[in-house]
Chains A and B, each alone.
Chain A
Amino acid sequence: MLFSSNVFLYLFLPLCMLTYFVVPRKLKNFVLLVFSLVFYAWGEPKYVLIMLASITVAYITGIFADKSRYKEKAVLKARFAMITAIVWNLGFLFFFKYTNLFIKTANDIGGFGIKALEIALPIGISFYSFQTLSYVIDVYKGEVRPQRNILNLATYVALFPQLIAGPIVRYQTIEEQLTQRKESFELFSDGVRRFTFGLAKKVILANSAGALFEELSAMSNDKLSVTAAWLGIIAYTFQIFFDFSGYSDMAIGLGKMFGFEFLENFDYPYISKSVTEFWRRWHISLSTWFRDYVYIPLGGNRCSKGRHIFNIMVVWSLTGFWHGASWNFMGWGVYFGVLLLLEKFIWGKGLVKTPKAVQHIYALFFIVLGWALFAFDDTDKLINNLKNMFGLGGLPLINDMTVSKLLSFAVMFIVLVIASTPLCRWAGVKIKAKSTVAFDAVQTLAILALLILSAAYLVSSSYNPFLYFRF
């Protein structure tokens, strides 16, 4: 189920809230778990079993990964439990996500003619595998105590706000909240604010930008222009940010409504002045996960320069590959790995001495170019689009179609740019300093307006009038 669907907003969520706030404290986690399982099963019921299996494995290995239960010499048992969890989670992730890619690649190279497996990717598996994995590793490291109540652990893994698109919530973040949280008007209303902003980001901004990208990327070269190729990828740049961060906002907001506080996942990534800064602001829960569970265990930067470079490249290849079963995602990760190394060792120091505007343009150029690698999993299309962007496709610089699109999306682009920056927040602070009442009124009305507008945009996707009656 998606947050941005009518079923979620006007059926699932009301029922879930009603039940959750009516039942006594003891049953609240159970209610959340049941609703989360329904939420998960909505798209593909059978994959609930896989998630339940993962939860069970995490529960058992978690208990046995706790070193404190063993005498000194038996800590190997804890290590074994942790390795079991790693093998299980990565094994499942690889099997469901990457098997067909490897089969296809082997066929392309060796012509083996192996049949692709009929497996669909269980939704959210990339997220919950990482969550259960980090839980068991943290237990092993002694950073958290194992969860003895399987219902609580299952609630953590399956918790529907963050289940299918993150943020990757670490067990240590909500360990205490699982058993001792307190819902309040303060948290709930703050959750409403976050959820509403996220919903509007997704259904108004991301979908509008996405429609432009879809249209332009489906056009054949004879209709395109160089400007249109850039316009398309810039639209994609906005789409992916508002889609993804909107989803994180909705997750964080829903969490708050039920008394949970997750960590932030995005921090205005497009105002970055370098690629390094971009990755501190983009999908924070993923980059910190890779930092803590891959980069640091590999030795991080406390090693030789060669090893350090190796560590960085491993982390960024994996980060890229995590995004999807296609080589262009790994290419995208490697691209950022190389850029980060260049900033670290070659031009990073020089960059900070240039004017701020130059730094912003520099960072945005490489971010947007990165999305050009990310957006197409078809290599021919990817190369064709890159050629078009850099004027190697023999396209005109601009044409009537491009002008038409620029005209009709101009205002939308202004809105997208403003929404990508902390401008609204800054304006809010200014208003609040002058009058708290005015600020409260503006914010409350904005929430109401955005909710209604989001409902309008949501309904428009199915609005489909016919000139002639359809039988």
Chain B
Amino acid sequence: MRIKQQVITFIFLAFIFGFAIVGLVMKDREFSDMENRTLAQSPEVSTENILNGDFQSQLESYMSDQLPLRDKLYSMKVDIERLMLRSYQNGVYFADDGYLIQEYKESPQTLRNVQYVNDFAKKVDVPMTFMLVPTATAVHSDKLPAGCLNDDQMETVKKVQSQLDEKIDFICPYEQLKSAFNGVENDDVSPVFYRTDHHWTAWGAENGFYALMKELGKEYDSKIIGNLDYHTINAEFYGTLYSKAPSAVQKADRFMAPTHNGGVYSVEFAKEQEDPHTLVGMYDLTKLETKDKYATLFGGNYSRFTIHSDVGNDEHILVIKDSYANAMLPYLATVYSTIDVVDMRYYHMEEKTVSELVKSEGISQVILLYNVDFFNSDNNFLWLD
């Protein structure tokens, strides 16, 4: 009896003192790869801070953010709730075949964004194509668990298409992605969409690329595409959706990106301060060592950069895009000698508006490339001018 009392006492003291002491000794983390955000740092002690309560609430965030085993504890909570048959966690559904699929709710922002795009089209007099890519939420909707409360992305796509200015050529590669997936027998490698990330895979992007080329009536060199090497850039990958719902039993993805042996590609950043200086061709291989492997593609997202390739033509296009485009750009670069790439999340109040850029750079084709989820929620389209 007495031994039991001592053991319980010890367990409790070890618990509270353990977290206290390890938390004190351990070096604070600045950034959480898992959560993709900066973590709270130790708060400043001052009479004013204490009297108005800021110190107290900051200390709680600090201790919570810097708690030893934080990510493991969270992952444990996710698994306990999975055991209790909860199929939803933090905006993510646990779908069949190990897929994590994002929740989708249509927002009024979509139609506002269509309006911004229409207004932009009036200012540009070169051909414009808008590719809106459905995410796994739509393409793999049959994998979702019973009782999901998602809105239908294809309804959103229809709305966008019907509201879009006639000048803009619209394409949604839903069928192509669907049949690309159905054509695969062994889906161990997450063919079209990553299981653990909200992006499409290289192969998903490749199929998007075929659909886009067909829509533009553009030839591509199928020999080059067929001979791309996927072994050089190839690593185990736990993506953003895994971060939101980290389960210990989750299977890893493989991140792959195409290498065109013999092709010469270079990326030029419009702003010197954005250049990470770690790009080799189109890829930042240092990112393969980090958690966010998708950022290997161009090193992430920037306001504007230009891809130069040794394709023997002088076609200069502009791609206005979100991160989905990053996986398709390597394919586009085998077709166009110069691709200007603009991300409206960061291209704010620049020297030239996007439409001015189209004129001054002699752009012959504008491509808008977005996924439905992003187009439905992003509020940076007002900068598109």
Contacts and interface: CB of A to CB of B under 8 A. Distances in A.
A1 B63 CA distance: 14
Contact of B67 (A6, A185, A407): A6
B33 to A, nearest CB: 10
Interface stretch (A23-31, A42-50, A85-93, A332-340): A42-50
Contacts of B88: 408
A192 B8 CA distance: 7
A444 B64 contact: no
Interface in B52-110: 53, 56, 59-61, 63-65, 67, 70, 73-74, 76-77, 80, 84-88, 90
Interface size class of B (residues with CB under 8 A): 35 or more
B23 interface: yes
Contacts of B20: 10-11, 14
A456 B73 contact: yes
Given A401-B149, A408-B86, A189 B53 contact: no
A459 interface: yes
Contacts of A470: 36-38
Interface string B1-40: 1101111110111011101100100000000101111100
Interface in B139-188: 146-149
B198 interface: yes
Contact of B16 (A14, A193, A412, A448): A14
B60 A464 contact: no
Contacts of A458: 64
Interface string A411-426: 1100100000000000
Contacts of A45: 50-51, 53
A11 B63 contact: yes
B11 A451 contact: yes
Given A10-B23, A453-B80, A470-B38, A192 B9 contact: yes
B8 A189 contact: yes
Interface of B is mostly: helix
Contact of B6 (A9, A189, A404): A189
B56 to A, nearest CB: 5
A185 B76 CA distance: 31
A466 interface: yes
Interface residues of A, number: 60
Given A10-B63, A45-B51, A456-B74, A407 B85 contact: yes
B189 to A, nearest CB: 23
Contacts of B77: 453, 456-457, 459-460
A452 B34 CA distance: 21
A103 interface: no
A346 interface: no
A458 B20 CA distance: 15
B149 A464 contact: no
A463 B35 CA distance: 7
Contacts of B67: 6, 10, 455, 459
B76 A456 contact: yes
Nearest to A406: B147
A10 B7 contact: no
B7 to A, nearest CB: 6
10 contacts: A6-B67, A7-B60, A185-B5, A185-B6, A188-B9, A404-B147, A411-B85, A451-B12, A462-B64, A463-B70
Interface of A: 1, 5-7, 9-11, 13-14, 17, 42-46, 185-186, 188-190, 192-193, 195-196, 400-401, 403-405, 407-412, 415, 440, 443-444, 447-448, 451-453, 455-470
Given A185-B6, A463-B35, 13 more contacts: A5-B60, A6-B63, A9-B16, A43-B53, A185-B2, A188-B5, A400-B147, A400-B149, A465-B35, A465-B37, A465-B90, A469-B37, A470-B37
3 nearest A-B residue pairs (beta carbon)? A404-B147, A189-B5, A411-B84
